[in-house]
Structure 1
């Protein structure tokens, strides 16, 4: 009788082990296409000086390019390299989104600046876009994406800019007569395009990933 129970017990143990190996951590987070990121973590964010030092660094910067100004004022969080174009992701927890936009605009005037809506704002320079977002994943964190125009043109979903920039303006800034219409059609046919950086990927993101060791990646396509 005891042998029978022992046999049943062993079978149960084997079944549990097989189930665990098949399904991992029973719903633990994964990155990228799954869109489940509850268990992903950045660990520690890059070190950042106090607010007063951030403001002083921007004010005292002699940068003539927006990239140099961002590098002088903010820590680099991640980079995103695509087949066409690239983006660098800076960050701050010391300034709010409106404060970041104001500091950048006052120091190096953009060609165009959008209104702020839904925790997003865009500054357009001659060959680059600065895309500000309040992080949905890390409270109080402002993501500052510096993208060249090729990256925006070839990867972004036009709908990301709804409420921020008119499509006619985007067409003009990207040197196209109908970029928004053509790009939106492509995004719909392929099931989603890049919709802004997210630290842990997103459910509709494409396959691009951040190249830093922190494992960042594109955000949900919209």
Structure 2
């Protein structure tokens, strides 16, 4: 009888281990990068931030070397859009309006270009990065701070997104191209698959742009979410 109980207990352990490794339908088995993971994230789960006065004080005393250091040191990262043609990291704040944020960032680290505030979005440009601030369409008062490298903007963004923000001449100069805007606009019209700014629930349309889903900052790789 004792031997039977030992064997029975051992069998239960084997079954449990087998289910953990090969079964289940949780995030471990399906990954964190597919559409389900984006839909499951909610605004109630946004990370906590420091007090607004503390953020301002810390930034005023900082001397960042680049835009990524400046943004990542003071705002929480919520997502990463990563492809084999560039990377965009998305931070968030509920403490600042976009004009306040653009002014604070510009005073902390002088940009090469700073757009006007138009249609609930604003852009400041540094040597290697675009800082694109956009208010959430789903949750007013939530501001996404998208830190996109030049490569990501060049390969994925629709020029139409920058209408009223940056001229095509400025975009061409910042992206080191004589006619990026014209060529990219043609590619966007042909493919209907250009990026038009971050949306937490996957995709944002701007003119002729298509959808482009972000991959979770906890995972993802080239081409995820496109």
Shorter chain as denominator, the TM-score bin is 0.7 to 0.9
Q: Which whole-Å deviations, capped at 9, do the CAs of 1:69-97 have from their partners, x for residues lacking one?
A: 11122111111101200011111101111
Match of 2:155? 154
Distance 1:67 1:107 in 2: 12
Match of 1:178? 179
| TM-score, structure 2 as length reference | 0.74
Structure 1's 153 and 45: CA in aligned 2 closer, same or farther, altered over 3 A? Answer: same
Match of 1:209? 214
Q: Which whole-Å deviations, capped at 9, do the CAs of 1:41-66 have from their partners, x for residues lacking one?
A: 34410111111111122112232211
SS at match of 2:55: helix
Match of 2:115? 114
Mean Cα displacement is larger for which, 127-136 or 62-71? Answer: 62-71
How many equivalent pairs are there? 180
Listed as ranges, the matches of 1:64-213 within 5 Å are 64-202=65-203, 204-206=210-212, 208-213=213-218
Distance 2:57 2:73 in 1: 10
Structure 1's 214 and 56: CA in aligned 2 closer, same or farther, altered over 3 A? Answer: farther
SS at match of 1:176: coil
Contact 1:61/1:72 (<8 A) preserved: no
Distance 2:65 2:168 in 1: 29
Mean Cα displacement is larger for which, 80-89 or 43-52? Answer: 43-52
Q: Report the alpha carbon displacement of residue 40 of structure 1 after superposing the two structures with TM.
A: 6.3
Match of 1:53? 54
Contact 1:55/1:73 (<8 A) preserved: no
Distance 1:199 1:155 in 2: 17
Match of 1:218? none
Contact 2:79/2:214 (<8 A) preserved: no
Q: Report the alpha carbon displacement of residue 98 of structure 1 after superposing the two structures with TM.
A: 0.7
SS at match of 1:136: coil
SS at match of 1:151: helix
Mean Cα displacement is larger for which, 179-188 or 40-49? Answer: 40-49
RMSD: 2.2
Distance 2:92 2:198 in 1: 12
SS at match of 2:215: coil
Q: Which runs of 5+ in 2 are unaligned?
A: 1-33, 205-209, 221-226
Distance 2:219 2:58 in 1: 25
